[in-house]
Amino acid sequence: MTFVRKHAVLLSLVVVLAIAPFLFYPVLVMKVLCFALFACAFNLLLGYTGLLSFGHAAYFGAGAYTTGYAMTAWATTPELGLLFGVVTAALLGAVFGGLAIRRQGIYFAMITLALAQMLYFFCLQAPFTGGEDGLQGVPRGKLFGLIDLGNDDVMYVFVSLVFLGGFWLIDRIIRSPFGQVLKSIRENEDRALSLGYDVDRYKLVAFVLSSALAGLAGATKTLTFGFATLTDVFWGTSGEVVLMTLVGGVGTVLGPVIGAVVIIVLQNELADKVGSWVLVILGAIFVVNVLLFRKGIVGEITARFNRT
Amino acid sequence: MSPDYILETRGLTREFSGFVAVKDVELKVRGGSIHGLIGPNGAGKTTMFNMLTKFLLPSSGSIIYRGSDITGERPARVARRGLVRSFQISSTFPHMTVLENVRIALQRKMGGSFQFWRSERALDHLHDSAIRILASVELADYANLNAVELPYGRKRALELATTLALEPELLLLDEPTQGVAHEDVGRVVALIKKFAQGRTVLMVEHNLSVVEDLCDKITVLQRGQVLAEGSYQEVSNNPQVLEAYVGVADE
């Protein structure tokens, strides 16, 4: 019973994921899962370390492109492709994060944005990214050389497992001794420093972990859809992940997942009906979010629940 | 240097774009004593504190702690050497529980704080020590409350408890009774007295009766320079000190 209580969130996600493909288009659910993982990775920084990275698409995109490249050019198996994407994103996070954490607050955010823009233009020009076309027709391959992911149902199970694994890991990090230190840095950086914590090193490790998981999300997205394009490294994607996290509830475990569901479903439903107006609608949601429910959907519900 | 001194500064100076906040200060803190740092507003007390704990780098001069030069060291490193500060404004981790506030300090001593793959249960064995420390500042009953929910005086006690959990050799207290309700000052003083045993304390304090009560030795700063030094009796009878304080009172 204690097992059920302790892993209640994770178990309910398993149940939801088991039912979801019967109610919704599985490819849409997979897209939601990739972005949900991306938002959870982002939330590890914003919600649990207090760092606003405004260029997180860089790591999502790095994972997306490198996995796509490995799958296409080297015809690796998907698990190796994903690993390659994750490692690349982590290394990129170590370099970019290492530069950005020297500054705080708005300066940190601006540096992460500037570095992400550099990567965007790199991807536009580099010979192996396909320029404006991106990488198209990336094969899904056979998992461990055995299981063909070409079938959407098999792929659905695979993406669900990747998402659950990433979600579990983030939850674990938040509750670990390391997570406690991150929380103390978010709460009062000077005090953490005066207790003898080398806050910059903790921030950097958090940044690398977050980048690696964002890379995993991007890499999984490439496998699912078979392409990696400039949108994956675009600043708009960085903005989207901020929006998802804030709408769902920053600093809550489930918030980014709910946020991703809301934003992706809205985009999907509205794209045909209102065209580019979808951006205006998302902007309006953001304004309402900041003015009326700053804690986000999950944050507000938890607050209500605790009050009664 | 003489081995009795745990902390020494030599010609310590800090300038802020032309304005000299601290000038040529030679401070010697004897091991095991409670040393007071007083002076009118703007005398450079907090600047001194920030330099000693490396939150500010000195423009010139050096800081010697237990015989080694720590002038160029980073703040976290200095804290790990056992020189730990409190802040002027009560400084807690507001959205962590009272217990977690103390535990985070205990955790630092234990090490292994980069282990992101371990469960929080790895910290459970620290609970008993944390509760014991909280009990010593009469906060054990509040252990599961968030720090932000405590009244101000209790936050002060919590900050002290967090600092003491590190078992610092040299404790730097920046105005420990500031903002504490009049009737609670006695409790804070008693706490400091209790924990000063076997340790060294350097404190900035405005409340002179607290200084009289606690401090073995007092250094008076004025305009960034040492004006006088000695016991409370000596310092309080020093005509220059009187003038400095009365001068301020006249403004």
Look at residue B70 and give its three-state secondary structure: coil
Tell the burial category of A114 from Cβ atoms under 10 Å away from its Cβ (0-12, 13-18, 19+).
middle
In which element (H, E) is residue B173 found?
strand B170-174
| Domain chopping of chain B, boundaries | 5-92+167-250, 93-149
Instruction: Answer yes or no: is pLDDT of B189 > 80.
Output: yes
Mean pLDDT of chain A: 91
- Ordered DSSP codes for B75-97: HHHHHHTTEEE--SS----TTSB
Q: Compare all CA atoms of chain B with the CA of A180 and give the residue at the minimum distance.
A: B104
Q: How far apart are CA B219 and CA B104, in angstroms?
A: 33
Please write the tens of the pLDDT for every residue from B63-113.
999 988 999 888 899 999 989 888 777 789 999 999 999 999 999 888 778
Query: Cα separations (Å) of A246 from A19, A28, A259?
Result: 27, 22, 7
The pLDDT value recorded for residue B119 is: 83
Instruction: Check CB contact under 8 Å for A176 and B84.
Output: no
How would CATH label the architecture of B5-92+167-250? 3-Layer(aba) Sandwich (3.40)
The pLDDT value recorded for residue A30 is: 94
Q: Pick the more confident residue, B131 or B119.
A: B131
Residue A97's nearest CA partner among A215, A187, A257, A259 is A215
Determine the distance in angstroms separating the CA of B64 from the nearest CA of chain A, rounded to an integer: 18
% residues pLDDT > 90 (chain A): 64
Instruction: Answer yes or no: is pLDDT of B124 > 90.
Output: no
Instruction: Check CB contact under 8 Å for A177 and B108.
Output: no
Its ipTM equals 0.83
| Domain chopping of chain A, boundaries | 24-235
Please write the tens of the pLDDT for every residue from A60-110.
999 999 999 999 889 889 999 999 999 999 999 999 999 999 998 899 999
- The beta-carbon neighbor of A177 closest among B84, B87, B115 is B115
Residue of B113, B149, B163 for testing the chain A interface, max A β-carbons within 10 Å: B113
Token reading at A95: 């370099």
Which residue(s) pair with A147 in the sheet?
A143
Please write the tens of the pLDDT for every residue from B205-245.
888 888 888 899 999 998 888 888 888 888 888 888 888 77
Please write the tens of the pLDDT for every residue from B3-50.
588 999 999 999 988 888 999 999 999 988 999 998 888 888 889 988
- A·B CB contacts under 8 A: 103
Average pLDDT value for residue range B186-212: 86
Q: How far apart are CA A231 and CA A120, in angstroms?
A: 9
Instruction: Answer yes or no: is pLDDT of A51 > 90.
Output: yes
DSSP state of B242: H
Please write the tens of the pLDDT for every residue from A219-246.
999 999 998 999 999 999 999 999 999 9
Instruction: Answer yes or no: is pLDDT of A215 > 90.
Output: yes
Residue ranges of A 168-187 with Cβ closer than 8 A to chain B: 172-173, 175-181, 183-184, 187
- The pLDDT-based confidence of B250 (bands split at 50, 70, 90) is very low
Q: How far apart are CA B90 and CA B173, in angstroms?
A: 11
Q: Which residues of A touch B113 (CB under 8 A)?
A: 177-178, 180-181, 197, 202
Instruction: Check CB contact under 8 Å for B108 and A199.
Output: no
Instruction: Check CB contact under 8 Å for A193 and B119.
Output: no
- The beta-carbon neighbor of A188 closest among B55, B84, B93 is B93
Determine the distance in angstroms separating the CA of A69 from the nearest CA of chain B, rounded to an integer: 30
Q: Compare all CA atoms of chain B with the CA of A186 and give the residue at the minimum distance.
A: B93
The pLDDT value recorded for residue A55 is: 93
Please write the tens of the pLDDT for every residue from A155-203.
999 999 999 999 999 999 999 999 999 999 999 999 999 999 999 999 9
